Amino acid sequence: MSLDRTCPVLCVILVGLLMPQFVNADASPVNLTELGEWDIVTSPDAPPSEQYAAQELQQFLGQALGTELDIVHSPDQLERCIFVG
């Protein structure tokens, strides 16, 4: 993965992981070893750039974690989600 593509993906990851800390002060820290149980969430009508970002995030985390996260449009729960878009 080139640096041009890695930087936006890492920004999405950081925002997705840190956002709950800013929204809810009582949120527990994210345990990266448990990310394999999380979902990547996009809008059903997401533009191609957001779909691509979700796929890149899925691939990047799959390589890092050794498991593939699902990309969904309507999550079962909101606690273990990474929202793209």
| Alpha-helical regions (H) of the chain | 3-23, 48-65
| Mean pLDDT value across residues 61-84 | 88
- Token pair 């191609």 is at which residue? 48
Q: Report helix, strand and coil shares of the chain as percent, to nearest 5.
A: 55, 10, 35
What's the pTM?
A: 0.64
pLDDT over 90 (residue 67): no
pLDDT over 60 (residue 21): no
- Higher pLDDT among residues 4 and 85, named by residue: 85
